Amino acid sequence: MLMGEGVEWGLHCCLALAWLEDQAPIPTGRLAEIFELPPVYLKKRLQPLVRAGVLASVPGTRGGYRLARAPEDVTLMDVVAAVEGATEAFRCTEIRRRGAGAEAAAGEFARPCGIAGAMRRAELAWRRELASQTLADLLAASPAGAPGRVRRFHERLGG
């Protein structure tokens, strides 16, 4: 399964916003500078997180982004689903019914395909794992110096 870079960008921005929680909303350009990302593209990646209620967008000249919920209330699955969408990674098209399968008795296809079942179980395990981890878990596992580095960088940029 291949996820777009927007997932990584979104998660890192969420962590930075958590570390800067006592600050005013952080503008897109500032978040982009913290990670040396293109601001226009980053803004497009953050908008789905606003729609999903992970981030809050504050309009105006002093506006920007902040977390909309506490870090312990945002799962990694929340971010992945917001950025990538909730569609399943594997979609069975029932090719087993074509070609040689077209000659099979109708009852042979009464049960779901074993391949589709295996793929569904694997995806559910992946989704459960992401849903069991929160931003708070990532914050706790972050290197001790990371929050301070982000804060100092933000301050050097005029924050």
Tens of pLDDT along 97-113?
999 999 998 788 888 89
**Single-letter amino acid code for the residue at 17:** L
Per the structure block, which two tokens stand in for 86? 């909730």
Q: What is the mean pLDDT of the chain?
A: 93
Whole-number pLDDT of residue 106: 79
For 67, the enclosing helix (H) or strand (E) is strand 64-67
**CATH classification of 5-156, choosing from 3.40.50.1220, 3.40.30.10, 3.40.50.300, 1.10.10.10?**
1.10.10.10
The rounded distance, in Å, linking the Cα atoms of 80 and 65 is 18
Q: List residues bridging with 56 in a β-sheet.
A: 66
Instruction: Return the bridge partners of 75, or none.
Output: 134
38-80 per-position pLDDT tens digit: 999 999 999 999 999 999 999 988 899 999 999 999 999 999 9
Every domain of the chain and the residues it spans: 5-156
CA distance 81 to 10: 11
**For residue 135, how many other CB atoms are within 10 A of its CB?**
24
